[in-house]
Structure 1
C-alpha cells in the first residue's frame, strides 16, 4: 500500500454502528459464553461487544503482528503472543474473538488457534474492519472470518488512537 495514501479516520459513531450490526448477527447465531479481545486494538470493541451481547466474561490475549503503532507500520514475520495463559481455561466454552481490524488475517488466525488450544468448543471471530489492501489470502476474508463489519483499502485510525 502506498505510504502517500491518507489514513481513514474512523469516528466513534461509525464504530458503534458497525459493532451493533455485527452483534445482531452474533446474537442470531447464539450469544457466546466468553468474549476475547486481542490486545491492544481489539479490547475496546471486545468490551462494547460484551455489553451488546450481555456477556460478562471478557478475556484478553496480546498478539502482535506489526512492529509499531506508526502509520503503515511493517508486519512482523509471524504473529507474536506475549502471554497465552491470559486466556485462562476455556474448556467447553463458546468464544467470540474480537479485533479492531484484520489486515493479513494472521493475528486473528493465530488468536483463534490459541483460544482453541485453551479448550473452547466453539470459536468465532469478529473484526470491525478488514483492510483489503493488506489481505494476503489464499482464502478471502469472508472465508476466514466469521463476522466482518466493513471492508476498506487503507490504514485506519480508530477513535482511541492518536490522530
Structure 2
C-alpha cells in the first residue's frame, strides 16, 4: 500500500470554508434550529459554524465505534425532528458518501424540511448529495487526503492510519 498525498488545510482556508457555509445558510430560505456536528471530523467545523450563524450545537459520533452510542443519539435527533426541529448535520468532507447516506437513512422518517447537510469539501463523485458546501472536488482528479487543522496535531502515522481505513477513496 502506498502512502497518500497529504494536503494540509491551513487555518485561514478552514475559516474561509466556514464563512462560505455561513453565507450560504444565511441566504437560503431554510434555517436550522440546531447544528449537529458529526464526529469526529465534523465537530470542529460545526462548533465554528454554530458561532458564525448563532445556532446551538448538538453532536453525534459515528467514528468511535461504541456499540449503540450513536443509535441512541440518532433516536433523540429523530424525535426532535419529528417535533418540528430543523437539524443541519455538519461534517468535514463528503467523500464516499457513506456517512451522509447513513445519516439520511437514520433520519428518513422525519419531515422533508427537517434535515439538511453541510460539508467543508464535497466530492462530486460521492454517492451522497448535500445541501451546503464550501468547496467542491472531483476524486477522479484530486487524490489528496486532506488534513484539517484539528488533525494536524496528530502524528503522520495516525493520519495515514485514518486514511488506511478506506484508501481507495484517494486512488
TM range, smaller chain = 0.7 to 0.9
Q: Which has the higher helix share?
A: 2
Is contact 2:95–2:123 with CA below 8 Å preserved after alignment? yes
Name the residue aligned to 2:131.
146
Query: Would you say 1:83 and 2:73 are equivalent positions?
Result: no
Equivalence for 1:155: 145
Per the alignment, residue 104 of structure 1 pairs with 96
2:49: which partner in 1?
49
Once residues 104 and 68 of structure 2 are traced to their aligned partners in structure 1, the CA distance between those partners, rounded to angstroms, is 12
Q: RMSD of aligned C-alpha atoms? A: 2.7
Shift of residue 34 of structure 1? 0.9
> Is there any run of 5+ residues in structure 2 with no aligned partner, and where?
156-171
What SS does the corresponding residue of 2:17 show, helix, strand or coil? helix
For 2:68 and 2:37, locate their aligned partners in 1 and report how far apart those are by CA, in whole Å. Answer: 13
SS in 2 for 1:17: helix
The answer for unaligned runs of 5 or more in structure 1 is 68-79
How big is each residue's C-alpha offset from its partner over 1:93-145, in whole Å with a ceiling of 9 and x where there is no partner? 1111100111111101212333444678421110101345xx453xxx6xx11
Q: Secondary structure at the match of 1:145?
A: coil
Query: In structure 2, how many angstroms separate the alpha carbons of the residues matched to 1:47 and 1:97?
Result: 12
CA distance, structure 2, for counterparts of residue 12 and residue 130 of structure 1: 18
Q: Per the alignment, in what secondary structure is the counterpart of residue 62 of structure 2?
A: strand
Runs of 4+ in 1 over 3 A off after TM superposition: 2-5, 115-121
Partner of 1:92: 84
**CA distance in structure 1 between the aligned counterparts of 2:26 and 2:33, rounded to whole angstroms:** 12
CA displacement at 1:151 relative to structure 2: 2.6
CA contact (8 A) 1:63 1:81 kept: no
| Kept after mapping to 1: 8 A contact 2:94/2:126 | no
Larger radius of gyration: 2
The residue aligned with 2:169 is none
What is the aligned length? 141
